[in-house]
């Protein structure tokens, strides 16, 4: 069916990593209105316990949707996805798309069967991630690298600060120092912030290393739900919006990066 407006997709994250998902959805499925929402008042999520995070995400999503209704919800944060998805799916009527570390496609892509896993420390150690490795990469050597500083570097890059390549090389050094590091041919970027540093990480690791993230898979899942719900849109001009849960000077610093994604409207929804 044809609706009288464009389909609306809410892409939710604690920081700016969700913008890598916004970019991929725009590439694969134009004609949608995208609402990028950052819970910057509670950033970062990786330091919070499960019960605290479930309560926070529930509260924030209800406030955001009351402000800007959406047809599909995308939880563009690995921490929030692994800990809150069951709750969100029970308490919201919209289809909910979560982020899963791209271990399965990386294992299928790798020829050497030595893959790196780059994530936040919490994601690297989470039972959910370890189960994905057992299920889809049992025939691979997986070299884990947990680092939270990359999140800050990605956030800073979007605000116009050039990443420190010496620092990035030091962060990625455990890959090359591992006994099987020379055989590694694929790295999973298991945080939505990390694709924002794709060019810099490729320089550090070498162009022969394939960098795999979940953006394309998430966009395909959104595409599936749009087709399933028959949300074909109205062919009106796209209208994109960025929402934040706390006002801060950093929002203004993000305007150029948001403008690159045709997000010109900004608003604050205090939570």
From 262, 241, 91, 106, select the one nearest 186 (Cα to Cα). Answer: 106
Over residues 166-181, mean pLDDT: 94
Choose, from 32, 77, 140, 204, the residue flagged as catalytic. Answer: 77
End-to-end CA distance of the chain: 36
* Angle value at C-alpha 121, between 110 and 151, nearest 5 degrees: 90
Q: Which residues of 119-151 are buried (b: 16+ CB within 10 A; e: fewer)?
A: bbebbbebeebeebbeebbeebbbbbbbbbebb
Sheet of 186-189, strands arranged across: 141-146, 114-119, 186-189, 210-212
**What residues make up the domain containing 204?**
103-213
Average pLDDT of the chain is: 92
Classified as helix, coil or strand, 269 is: coil
Q: Looking at the domain assignment, is residue 2 inside a domain?
A: no
Over residues 204-228, mean pLDDT: 93
Q: Is residue 77 among the annotated active site residues?
A: yes
Q: Is residue 140 among the annotated active site residues?
A: no
- The number of domains in the chain is 2
Beta pairing, strands 265-268 & 241-244: parallel
Per-residue pLDDT tens digits for 120-139: 888 888 888 999 999 999 99
Q: Does the structure show a pLDDT above 60 at 2?
A: no
Q: What is the pTM of this model?
A: 0.88
Q: Looking at the domain assignment, is residue 25 inside a domain?
A: yes
Q: Which of residues 259 and 2 earns the better pLDDT score?
A: 259
| Alpha-carbon radius of gyration of the chain | 18
| Largest Cα–Cα separation, the chain | 58
Cβ neighbours of 199 (radius 10 Å): 11
Model confidence at 234, in pLDDT bands (50, 70, 90)? low
Q: Does the structure show a pLDDT above 90 at 166?
A: yes
Q: Which of residues 38 and 48 earns the better pLDDT score?
A: 38
Quote the pLDDT of residue 5.
Answer: 81
Q: Are residues 81 and 39 in the same domain?
A: yes
Q: Does the structure show a pLDDT above 80 at 31?
A: yes
**Residue 224 to residues 43, 46, 119, 219, Cα–Cα distance (Å):** 30, 29, 27, 9
Q: Are residues 157 and 71 in the same domain?
A: no
Q: Which of residues 230 and 92 earns the better pLDDT score?
A: 92
Q: Are residues 174 and 43 in the same domain?
A: no
- CATH number of the domain where residue 65 is located: 3.40.50.1860
Distance CA 227, CA 18 (A): 22
Choose, from 32, 140, 191, 204, the residue flagged as catalytic. Answer: 191
Per-residue pLDDT tens digits for 244-255: 999 998 898 899
Q: Does the structure show a pLDDT above 70 at 157?
A: yes
55: left (phi over 0), alpha (psi -120 to 50) or beta: alpha
């Amino acid at each position: 069916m044809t609706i009288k407006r464009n389909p609306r997709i809410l892409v939710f994250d604690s920081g700016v990593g969700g913008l890598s998902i916004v970019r991929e959805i725009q590439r694969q499925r134009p004609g949608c209105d995208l609402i990028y929402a950052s819970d910057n008042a509670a950033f970062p999520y990786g330091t919070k316990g499960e019960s605290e995070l479930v309560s926070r995400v529930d509260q924030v999503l209800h406030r955001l949707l009351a402000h800007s209704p959406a047809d599909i919800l995308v939880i563009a944060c690995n921490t929030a996805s692994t800990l809150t998805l069951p709750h969100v799916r029970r308490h919201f009527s919209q289809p909910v798309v979560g982020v899963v570390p791209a271990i399965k496609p990386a294992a299928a892509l790798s020829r050497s069967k030595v893959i790196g896993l780059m994530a936040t420390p919490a994601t690297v150690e989470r039972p959910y991630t370890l189960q994905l490795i057992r299920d889809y990469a049992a025939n691979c050597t997986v070299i884990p690298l947990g680092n939270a500083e990359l999140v800050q570097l990605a956030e800073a890059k979007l605000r116009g600060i050039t990443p420190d390549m010496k620092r990035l090389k030091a962060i990625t050094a455990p890959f090359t120092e591992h006994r099987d590091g020379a055989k590694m041919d694929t790295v999973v970027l298991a945080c939505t912030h990390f694709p924002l540093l794709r060019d810099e990480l490729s320089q550090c690791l070498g162009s022969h290393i394939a960098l795999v993230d979940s953006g394309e898979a998430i966009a395909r899942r959104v595409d599936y739900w749009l087709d399933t719900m028959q949300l074909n849109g109205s062919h009106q001009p796209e209208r994109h919006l960025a929402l934040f849960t706390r006002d801060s000077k950093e929002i203004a610093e993000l305007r150029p990066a948001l403008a690159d994604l045709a997000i010109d409207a900004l608003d604050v929804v205090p939570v």
